[in-house]
């Protein structure tokens, strides 16, 4: 892998763990606005080659981030070489910044539409279990609270920072909540009415990529016939042929027993994969869908993406 791609890949992975994919995309696009604002060369033709190099890095990171690929593909189509040569030097910066800000605005509108569609879920009097620190899920819960709906939240305790992010958001919104270690959820399953999740992406295999630990919790509630809901912006779709487990990274660390002279490998995985069919409904910016409907929508968007980017028809 190219050193620049490797460096950016590592940086984006770390940011995604802290902020989530949605806020990662927002951060990258806002950073691009700042970079172009301070870009010294005046001629647009000097900007184009450097922007092409940036796009090539973004679309080749490991893992690929569907939401970044989606938006940068739009920008690359807008700022092709033909367009570069036709644009007056004194206008390029204003036009480029306007286009990026338009995408940011569209991106935020999509998030608002998703939150609006979440109103279709009946949460009145329900107890909702959350596990990851999806900001999309947090926004929906806060929206319910602002609407005056009555519900409770159980936070499945996991990673320290993610758990405390959920605690902070629920506390600030005045939402009633409890925290239960994720490995003790079997004791309260009978009190749970529904489970909310966000995800990094949806692959062409119809697997959602989620935080580690998600699969076990979803499987347990699936067996108990407790409905599990996914909240995802369709811009997060991975509109390409996915490599097997290409989005999952293995972290190995040498550890030593706290008391004995024993050294061992500790293995940690970056993400889980969960089939779309295990979700009762998927809440998107285009509506609340079944797993069959999300597959049809994915295939439609994949075809549109390939045509728009000159990739032809995707292989099955």
Q: What residue ranges define each of the domains in the chain, with the CATH number in brackets?
A: 3-114 (1.20.120), 121-304 (3.40.50.10470)
Residues 6 or more apart whose CB falls under 8 angstroms from that of 181 comprise 156, 157
Q: What pLDDT, on the 0 to 100 scale, is given for residue 301?
A: 92
Q: What is the pLDDT of residues 66-103, one digit of tens each?
A: 888 888 888 888 776 666 666 666 677 888 888 889 98
What is the secondary structure of 156-174 as a DSSP string? Answer: EE-SHHHHHHHHHHHHHHT
Of the candidates 162, 232, 228, 227, which has an alpha carbon nearest to the alpha carbon of residue 203? 232
Q: What pLDDT, on the 0 to 100 scale, is given for residue 92?
A: 75
Torsion of CA 131, 151, 142, 166, to 10 degrees: -30
- 43 φ/ψ angles, rounded to the nearest 5 degrees: -80, 135
Tell me the whole-structure pTM to 2 decimals. 0.85
Q: For the range 143-146, what are the long-range contacts, defined as Cβ-Cβ under 8 Å and sequence gap of 24 or more?
A: 143/115, 143/118, 143/119, 144/118, 145/173, 145/174, 145/175
Q: Which residues of the chain have pLDDT under 70?
A: 1, 41-44, 80-90, 243-251, 269-270, 311-316
CA 184 to chain centre: 27
Q: What pLDDT, on the 0 to 100 scale, is given for residue 242?
A: 74
DSSP 25: H
CA 33 to chain centre: 21
Helix (H) or strand (E) holding 252: strand 250-256
126-130 sheet: strands from edge to edge: 177-181, 151-157, 126-130, 194-198, 228-231, 281-284, 287-289
Residues 6 or more apart whose CB falls under 8 angstroms from that of 147 comprise 119
Q: What pLDDT, on the 0 to 100 scale, is given for residue 270?
A: 67
């Amino acid at each position: 892998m190219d050193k620049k791609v490797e460096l950016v890949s590592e940086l984006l992975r770390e940011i995604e763990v802290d902020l989530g994919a949605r806020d990662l995309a927002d951060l990258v696009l806002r950073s691009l606005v700042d970079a172009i604002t301070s870009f010294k060369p005046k001629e647009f033709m000097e900007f184009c080659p450097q922007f092409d190099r940036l796009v090539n890095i973004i679309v080749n990171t490991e893992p690929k981030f569907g939401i970044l690929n989606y938006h940068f593909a739009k920008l690359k189509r807008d700022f092709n070489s033909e367009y570069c040569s036709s644009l007056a030097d004194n206008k390029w910066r204003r036009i480029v910044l306007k286009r990026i800000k338009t995408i940011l605005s569209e991106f935020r509108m999509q998030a608002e539409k998703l939150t609006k569609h979440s109103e279709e879920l009946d949460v009145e009097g329900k107890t909702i279990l959350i596990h990851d620190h999806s900001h999309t899920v947090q926004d929906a819960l806060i929206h319910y609270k602002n609407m005056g709906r009555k519900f409770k939240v159980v936070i499945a305790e996991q990673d320290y920072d993610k758990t405390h992010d959920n605690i902070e958001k629920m506390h600030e919104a005045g939402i009633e909540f409890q925290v239960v270690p994720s490995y003790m959820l079997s004791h309260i399953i009978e009190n749970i009415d529904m489970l909310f999740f966000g995800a990094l992406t949806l692959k062409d295999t119809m697997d959602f990529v989620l935080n580690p630990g998600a699969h076990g919790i979803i499987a347990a509630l699936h067996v108990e016939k407790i409905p599990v809901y996914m909240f995802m912006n369709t811009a997060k779709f991975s509109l390409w042929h996915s490599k097997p487990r290409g989005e999952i990274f293995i972290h190995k660390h040498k550890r030593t027993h706290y008391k004995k002279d024993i050294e061992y490998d500790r293995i940690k995985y970056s993400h889980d994969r969960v089939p779309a069919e295990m979700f009762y409904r998927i809440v998107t910016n285009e509506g609340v869908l079944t797993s069959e409907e999300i597959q049809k929508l994915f295939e439609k968007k994949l075809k549109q993406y390939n045509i728009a980017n000159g990739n032809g028809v995707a292989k099955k």
